[in-house]
């Protein structure tokens, strides 16, 4: 057994990190010296390895704490399910990165041919990058089956399709906002027509997959907890979501 400073050196982390993990209940050493100093054993190193792997895969610390606590009774099943879910998320992220690379390669070829690419191509690249940055918080709303289906579909999703989808949604948001500004009643014929158009766009994303639809519904129900940057970039507002929701009453 070793004291915290030595353990931090062996594990390649800081003492501050170990104190933080202790406070969260992630890694609390079972032994102490007579003076009260923490003593770490080999099993603590194994536990830290699990934490760091799950952290690398994108799980927040509080979810890791809950997972490791639950895995005390069924460690193989719980950890395997989590690793499988995170593998799906990483494959989705890789697909997105591949799309960015393809768009960049296309821009490079145009530049090499003395044909400057238009602004829309650069805009598509930037939007794809922002979308990838947002995946870490969005995936929590989708089941493993939904994420797998989204990943499979993303392999066929080109920058051009993304640009078309973005434009269609921007037009949709503008129409709904205009209806709100004009005090259109949500469950009026005009409001219901807008809701039907909205759901048609949703259908293009879900492709009739109920697991994807359920995850998307959870995502938008939790709009108040979205990162502020995502709210601004997405273009949708809580008023728009309330309008569409009320159109079905």
Convert the pLDDT of each residue in 150-199 to its tens digit. 777 776 777 677 778 888 998 999 999 999 999 999 999 999 999 999 99
Tell me: the pLDDT tens digits for 101-123? 777 777 777 777 777 666 566 66
Count how many residues are written for the chain: 249
**Segment 201-232, tens digit of pLDDT:** 999 888 888 989 999 998 888 888 877 667 76
pLDDT band of residue 93 (cuts 50, 70, 90) is low
- The CATH code of the domain at 2-70 is 1.10.1660.10
Q: What is the mean pLDDT of residues 73-77?
A: 44
Determine the pLDDT at residue 193: 95
Is the model's pLDDT at 29 over the cut of 90?
no
What six digits make up the tokens of 240?
């728009």
Residue tagged 């392999």 (tokens): 155
104: helix, coil or strand? helix
Let me know if 112 is exposed, middle or buried by CB neighbors in 10 A (0-12, 13-18, 19+): exposed
Q: Which helix (H) or strand (E) element contains residue 93?
A: helix 75-112
DSSP 8-state class, residue 34: T
Q: How confident is the model at residue 75 (pLDDT cuts 50, 70, 90)?
A: very low
Q: Where are the alpha helices (DSSP H) in 113-188?
A: 119-138, 144-154, 159-181
Tell me how far CA of residue 155 lies from CA of 80, 99, 100, 164, in angstroms. 25, 8, 12, 17
CATH 1.10.1660.10 domain span(s) along the chain: 2-70
- Write phi, then psi, for 37 (nearest 5 degrees): -75, 145
Distance CA 66, CA 146 (A): 23
- Paired strand residues for 38: 32
């Amino acid at each position: 057994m070793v004291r915290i400073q030595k353990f931090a050196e062996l594990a390649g982390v800081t003492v501050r990190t170990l104190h933080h993990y202790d406070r969260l209940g992630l890694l609390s050493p079972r032994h102490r010296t007579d003076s009260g100093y923490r003593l770490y054993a080999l099993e603590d190193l194994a536990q830290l390895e699990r934490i760091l792997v799950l952290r690398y895969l994108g799980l927040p610390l509080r979810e890791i704490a809950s997972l490791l606590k639950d895995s005390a009774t069924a460690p193989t099943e719980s950890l395997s399910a989590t690793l499988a879910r995170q593998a799906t998320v990483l494959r989705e992220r890789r697909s997105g990165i591949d799309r960015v690379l393809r768009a960049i390669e296309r821009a490079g070829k145009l530049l090499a041919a003395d044909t400057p690419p238009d602004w829309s191509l650069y805009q598509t690249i930037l939007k794809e990058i922002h979308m990838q940055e947002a995946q870490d918080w969005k995936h929590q709303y989708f089941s493993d089956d939904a994420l797998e289906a989204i990943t499979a579909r993303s392999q066929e999703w080109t920058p051009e399709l993304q640009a078309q989808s973005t434009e269609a949604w921007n037009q949709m948001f503008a129409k709904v906002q205009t209806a709100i500004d004009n005090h259109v009643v949500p469950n009026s014929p005009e409001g219901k027509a807008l809701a039907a158009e909205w759901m048609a766009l949703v259908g293009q994303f879900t492709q009739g997959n109920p697991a994807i639809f359920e995850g998307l519904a959870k995502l938008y129900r939790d709009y108040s907890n979205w990162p502020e940057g995502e709210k601004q970039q997405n273009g949708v507002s809580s008023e728009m979501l309330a309008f569409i929701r009320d159109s079905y009453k």
